């Protein structure tokens, strides 16, 4: 190959004509000085065609296309500029701006951090990073709010909109459960304590909720969790017991089958869970009578424990 032409063979398809590229680069720079952006872009495009791997040509063409609104082409060229051994810092910054405008905050952050890895004191990059991180957090907050809004709409859906039998709908209406949210704020044990509810109706409701990855009493979990921990801590102080005792299974109490079924309805799995319950809560469970209550009292007393009592 003629050395004076400064052409470099890349493969069978691509040839870099560096001499031509330099000629058009000079013309483009002259046009820039004269404020003739249209001519500058034409010359940069010609230089890029001659030598697509020329870093300065690639960046200046991207920059001017970006200024005239050709963002998609500028994006492509900026991305080419940064995929080199020593990426053009301004290309990284300008690319980050485009990414941020498109809501691609993770990509924008990566570009800015790449600048700071090269120049940790780069003032513009440091300020821009703060903006990108703030925008990213704002989007996350907005997404969370959107999910909350959608959830609120779902919870406000009347139970009559779901596929439930007329009898079950009427039973829910009689106990003033009118929305899906109302159902999530009531436990299975509470439903069973209402006269209007039979086994079939409860199973029907549970199946409907299960199809939506929901369950009875679900909305109570968070508020009960904090209250539960506070009562746990107080119980441990009052009784001198520790987590090991409270974490033991209620099956270790050795109560009757009827009492165990009642505890299962209340989702009481550990001795600690049981100590959080009051006598009225246990007595509210269908088929749970005084005999079962006395049985549980005795078992807890043997362990120097008791059911929770309400403050007057």
Task: Note the pLDDT tens digit of each residue in 192-214.
Answer: 887 777 888 889 988 888 888 88
- Given a cut of 60, whether residue 144 has pLDDT beyond it is no
> Is residue 309, in this structure, part of any structural domain at all?
no
My answer on whether 192 and 224 are in the same domain is no
> Is residue 63, in this structure, part of any structural domain at all?
yes
Q: How far is it between the farthest Cα atoms of the chain?
A: 107
My answer on whether 101 and 231 are in the same domain is no
Q: How far apart are the first and last CA of the chain?
A: 100
**Which residues fall within 8 angstroms of residue 298, CB to CB, at 6 or more apart?**
none
> Is residue 191, in this structure, part of any structural domain at all?
yes
Query: Which of 288-293's residues contact partners 24+ apart within 8 Å by CB, and which partners?
Result: 288/258, 288/259, 288/262, 292/255, 292/256, 292/258, 292/259, 292/262
Q: Tell me the CATH number at 212.
A: 1.10.150.20
- Count how many domains the chain has: 3
pLDDT confidence bin for 6, thresholds 50/70/90: very low
My answer on whether 210 and 282 are in the same domain is no
Q: Which of 57, 34, 31 is nearest to 44 (CA)?
A: 57
| Final residue belonging to a domain, choices 216, 241, 264 | 216
**Which of residues 131 and 20 earns the better pLDDT score?**
20
- Give residue 231's pLDDT: 59
- Given a cut of 60, whether residue 311 has pLDDT beyond it is no
My answer on whether 209 and 227 are in the same domain is no
Beta bridge partners of 158: 179
My answer on whether 173 and 207 are in the same domain is yes
**What does the alpha-carbon distance between residue 237 and residue 44 come to, in Å, rounded to a whole number?**
79
**What does the alpha-carbon distance between residue 238 and residue 60 come to, in Å, rounded to a whole number?**
76
My answer on whether 130 and 187 are in the same domain is no
Is residue 88 classed as helix, strand or coil in its secondary structure? coil
Burial of 61 (0-12, 13-18, 19+ CB in 10 A): buried
Alpha helices in the chain (DSSP H): 18-33, 37-50, 55-67, 71-82, 89-101, 105-118, 123-155, 166-174, 180-184, 188-193, 199-210, 221-239, 243-246, 257-265, 271-275, 279-283, 290-302
My answer on whether 43 and 111 are in the same domain is yes
Say which DSSP state 54 is in: -
pLDDT confidence bin for 178, thresholds 50/70/90: confident
My answer on whether 8 and 139 are in the same domain is yes
Instruction: Please identify which residue in the block is written with the tokens 């520790």.
Output: 242
Q: Tell me the CATH number at 79.
A: 1.25.40.10
Instruction: Please identify which residue in the block is written with the tokens 């079924």.
Output: 261
pLDDT confidence bin for 23, thresholds 50/70/90: very high
- Give residue 22's pLDDT: 92
Residue 90: domain span: 3-144
My answer on whether 8 and 72 are in the same domain is yes
My answer on whether 103 and 179 are in the same domain is no
Mean pLDDT of the chain: 77
Please, are residues 17 and 50 in contact by the beta-carbon 8 Å criterion?
yes
- Give residue 87's pLDDT: 81
- Given a cut of 70, whether residue 254 has pLDDT beyond it is yes
My answer on whether 200 and 233 are in the same domain is no
Q: What is the pLDDT of residues 46-78, one digit of tens each?
A: 999 999 888 889 999 988 888 888 888 888 888
My answer on whether 180 and 283 are in the same domain is no
- Give residue 61's pLDDT: 92
**Which of residues 101 and 115 earns the better pLDDT score?**
115
**Which of residues 135 and 213 earns the better pLDDT score?**
213
């Amino acid at each position: 190959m003629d050395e004076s032409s400064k052409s470099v063979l890349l493969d069978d398809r691509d040839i870099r004509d560096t001499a031509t590229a330099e000629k058009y680069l000079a013309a483009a720079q002259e046009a820039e000085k004269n404020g003739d952006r249209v001519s500058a872009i034409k010359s940069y495009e010609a230089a890029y065609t001659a030598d697509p791997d020329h870093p300065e040509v690639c960046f200046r063409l991207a920059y001017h296309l970006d200024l005239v609104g050709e963002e998609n082409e500028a994006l492509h060229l900026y991305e080419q500029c940064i995929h080199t051994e020593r990426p053009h810092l301004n290309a990284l910054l300008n690319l980050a701006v485009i990414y941020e405008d498109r809501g691609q905050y993770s990509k924008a952050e990566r570009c800015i951090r790449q600048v700071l890895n090269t120049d940790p004191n780069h003032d513009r990059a440091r300020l821009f990073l703060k903006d990108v991180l703030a925008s990213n957090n704002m989007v996350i907050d907005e997404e969370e709010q959107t999910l909350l809004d959608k959830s609120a709409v779902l919870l406000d859906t009347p139970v009559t909109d779901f596929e439930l039998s007329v009898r079950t709908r009427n039973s829910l209406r009689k106990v003033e459960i009118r929305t899906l949210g109302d159902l999530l704020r009531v436990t299975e044990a509470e439903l069973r304590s209402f006269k209007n509810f039979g086994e079939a109706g409860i199973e029907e409701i549970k199946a409907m909720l299960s199809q939506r990855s929901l369950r009875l009493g679900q909305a109570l979990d968070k508020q009960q969790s904090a209250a539960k921990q506070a009562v746990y801590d107080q119980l441990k102080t009052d009784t001198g017991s520790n987590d090991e005792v409270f974490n033991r299974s209620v099956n270790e109490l050795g109560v009757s089958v009827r009492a165990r079924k009642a505890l299962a309805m209340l989702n009481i799995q550990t001795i600690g869970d049981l100590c959080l319950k009051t006598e009225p809560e246990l007595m509210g469970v269908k088929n749970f009578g005084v005999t079962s209550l006395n049985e549980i009292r005795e078992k807890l007393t043997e362990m120097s424990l008791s059911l929770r009592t309400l403050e007057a």
